[in-house]
Structure 1
Amino acid sequence: MEETWRWFGPGDAVQLNHIRQTGARGIVTSLHQIPYGVVWSVEEIEKRKALLAADPSLGLSWSVVESLPVHEKIRRGDPDCAELFENYRISLRNLAACGVKVVCYNFMPVLDWTRTELAHPLPGGGTALRFNMHQYVGFDVFMLERPGAADGLPPELLARAKAWVDSASAEQKEKLLASIMAGLPGAYDRYDIPGLRAILAEYGQMTHADLQANLKRFLQEVIPAAEEAGVRLCMHPDDPPRPLFGLPRIVSREQDIADFLAMVDSPANGLTLCTGSLGAGPQNDLPAITRRFADRIHFAHLRNVAKEADGSFMEADHLGGDVDMVAVVEALLSEQKRRQEQGRADWRIPFRPDHGHELLDDVGKPTHPGYPAIGRMKGLAELRGVMVALAQVKGLPL
């Protein structure tokens, strides 16, 4: 598998020479400086490629776009999206013309990945990302005061959430809001509570079926252009895989994946396998999902989570959580072998070690939440070991 590394551009505290030291050669990056819905020009794409190639001794190349964002108006299903669809198509063509042909994106409305703690303490002084269900409920029910937010929730969870809100200081509440808003680095909108209420109101009473219809419209608009350009789009699953703040999420479980892949049945319409995002859902069997959709997996995020009964979860060691990572990796290597035997030039699946604990000298450094250097390098080394062992024992191609 192709070892890649997420890099957030020139402002990233993890520099390109640091990435080379991890062993990764493929770069996963995005033009975060370009507002959502605006065309990615060939000039801007080539500028990013030139940064990666500035020191040829590093041997780095742009392997995957993560991400080419989908504008909120498209997710919301607004009628006046023709220009946004055309801009997306132009961006795909420009990326392909520059040799970048794997494009990750997501269809999570308003917020992207969501956590309630960005630096949960670990034994020895490290930190991890964490989602505490009682803090999420406390925010949704008692701070955001969203109508209907408490419906159907267990009384003991509501009581714990209320106790947290009542005891939390103003600073703790602000920190919770900032954690929830952290989302995808590069996102332009960060909401205060009134702002979040306003953007949620724009979605009205959107249902799961409504959001699916909006996704199908998007895919029907852009997949033909991706096919023509030789681009493989790959949807990132919901994180966490459950509705948030009254909004549906539609890439949270195995059936959701089957549904969106069937909307436009094309190799250009694929999946980013994120073992952590899907792994946070107790309903998801990651090895089975990997095997079922192997031929449509164009990119993989490999990380692990430890789940709790109330819906809380924490980022775990890459080989130490609830996901059977060895079985997932074996399924991916088996798919690589199938592609290689078909004679495909692009048979290797790019993957990156996703999220990592903040460890050692990285503690306190201004890295993006979840993206310190040492924790991810530790994960990459562990995953590399699994891959080499499976390749030798099972005769699978690396």
Structure 2
Amino acid sequence: MIESWRWYGAFDKISLPEIAQTGASGIVTALHEIPYGEIWSRQAIAAHNSAIHTAGFTWNVVESLPIHEDIKRGSGNLATLFANYRQSMANLAAEGVHTICYNFMPLLDWTRTDLQSPVKGGGTCLRFSAPRMAAFELFMLGREAAEADYPAEVRQAAAIWFQQSSEADRDGLLTSIMAGLPGAYARYTVEGLKTALAGYEGLGRSDLRASYRQFLQEVVPAAEDLNIRLCVHPDDPPRDILGLPRIVSDADDIGWILDAVDSPANGLTLCSGSLGANPANDVAAIARRFADRIHFAHLRNVAKDADGSFEEAAHLDGDTDMVDLVAALLDEEARRRAEGRADHAIPFRPDHGHELLSDATRDTHPGYPLIGRLRGLAELRGVIRALSRPVAAQ
């Protein structure tokens, strides 16, 4: 497995020389400054790649080459958007970058309600509180249909939180929910979010699936020609948010996606944290079922509550058996080696992490501290080394 690290380029408070000290060899990054739907020029890709190579790394995964919202809605000038996406893929391939992670979540990326929830022993983590999300939807956003999305006990807890919250508490909740938007993407006010959501009115699960199928039909053949591996990232959290459908949340969804255009170029980013937040998901079983289509892995863990809340756990704690999951990925690598594939190794990165020690003073992207992820990488490295050690002859 290829140890990798997410880097936000000019937006990142963590430098490439600092990342070098983690021991990672690969960089996972994107051109976050380019607006959605525009072409990533070969010149911009080359400049970014040069900085990575100069620092001693390989740019092994793009995360993400984002999909314009019009593609998800199935509206607007789709021909131009698809052409631009294909040209960006061609420019990446020309610069030697062949793995592209992306997501198909409408409007919002990953969503949390707390960016600094205390953890045992000190430090903080990201948390999704079902009552706070319900409070935001019901009492701040005023989305009446949200009543049906939360059980009575969650709605009651939401009402109590809202009644007791200050204006600063509510502002902090909005900031947390908006934090998942990547790079320099504009954040919404409550009124701005209402306006944005209006553009998705009437969009159902079947509509989003139809748009997704069209996207795959438009770009996967080009990916095949370019020797590019596309790998969709699961929904985070794996549930409908703000009344918007999520269609990459469980094994059935993944099976539909991979069958929609059945090609090795149409693959999966195995994110153990996103999938692990759904109580019905057995993450290791999902990894084994779709192993041959996993092109990239995010390894992290979550601890779930009965009401639908969850928080980021330490990488080897939480509800997912990380040792079993890593074993599944190593088994797939062994299968690929046996086939003689030169690209048998699966790049992975320690995803998210607790803010520990001096992380609290760095003001890094939420979920992407230096020390917390370094701890996660070290733990995962140990698991991989132990599982890879030849069994002594009896």
Cα distance in 1 between the residues matched to 2:24 and 2:311: 26
Matched, 1:359 2:360: no
Shift of 1:125: 3.3
Cα distance in 1 between the residues matched to 2:87 and 2:136: 40
TM-score if structure 2 supplies the norm length? 0.98
Counterpart of 2:107 in 1: which secondary structure? coil
Q: Cα 1:187–1:211, aligned 2, differ >3 Å: closer, same or farther?
A: farther
Match for residue 267 of structure 1 among 252, 264, 275: 264
Aligned to 2:220: 223
Aligned to 2:14: 14
Aligned to 1:45: 45
Aligned to 2:241: 244
Contact 1:185 1:368 in 2 (8 A): no
Cα distance in 2 between the residues matched to 1:370 and 1:24: 18
Contact 1:140 1:146 in 2 (8 A): yes
Contact 2:4 2:27 in 1 (8 A): yes
Cα distance in 2 between the residues matched to 1:53 and 1:233: 22
Aligned to 2:210: 213
The amino acid of 2:200's aligned partner reads Y
Cα distance in 1 between the residues matched to 2:53 and 2:325: 33
Moved more, 179-188 or 34-43: 179-188
Instruction: After TM superposition, list the pairs within 5 Å mapping 1:124-203 onto structure 2.
Output: 124-151=121-148, 153-186=150-183, 188-203=185-200
Post-superposition Cα deviations, 1:71-119, rounded to whole Å, max 9, x if no partner, equal: 0110111152110100000000110010000000000001000000001
Post-superposition Cα deviations, 1:308-360, rounded to whole Å, max 9, x if no partner, equal: 00000000000000001111100100100111111111110000000000001
Contact 1:356 1:371 in 2 (8 A): yes
Return 5+ residue gaps in structure 2 as ranges: none
Cα distance in 1 between the residues matched to 2:63 and 2:368: 14
Aligned to 1:255: 252
Contact 2:11 2:183 in 1 (8 A): no
Cα distance in 1 between the residues matched to 2:390 and 2:189: 53
Cα distance in 2 between the residues matched to 1:206 and 1:188: 23
The amino acid of 1:48's aligned partner reads H
Contact 1:5 1:19 in 2 (8 A): yes
Cα distance in 2 between the residues matched to 1:69 and 1:153: 30
Instruction: After TM superposition, list the pairs within 5 Å mapping 1:258-337 onto structure 2.
Output: 258-337=255-334
The amino acid of 2:192's aligned partner reads G
Aligned to 1:204: 201
Aligned to 1:235: 232
Moved more, 135-144 or 181-190: 181-190
Cα distance in 1 between the residues matched to 2:88 and 2:106: 21
Cα distance in 1 between the residues matched to 2:336 and 2:181: 32
User: Cα RMSD over matched residues?
Assistant: 1.2
Moved more, 142-151 or 302-311: 142-151
Cα distance in 2 between the residues matched to 1:153 and 1:313: 15
Counterpart of 1:233 in 2: which secondary structure? strand
The amino acid of 1:62's aligned partner reads W
Post-superposition Cα deviations, 1:210-253, rounded to whole Å, max 9, x if no partner, equal: 11111000000101110100000000000000000111000000
Aligned to 2:57: 60
Match for residue 87 of structure 1 among 84, 88, 92: 84
Shift of 1:187: 5.2
> How many positions carry a matched residue from both structures?
392
Shift of 1:362: 1.0
Cα distance in 1 between the residues matched to 2:32 and 2:116: 24
Q: Cα 1:152–1:269, aligned 2, differ >3 Å: closer, same or farther?
A: closer
Shift of 1:15: 0.8
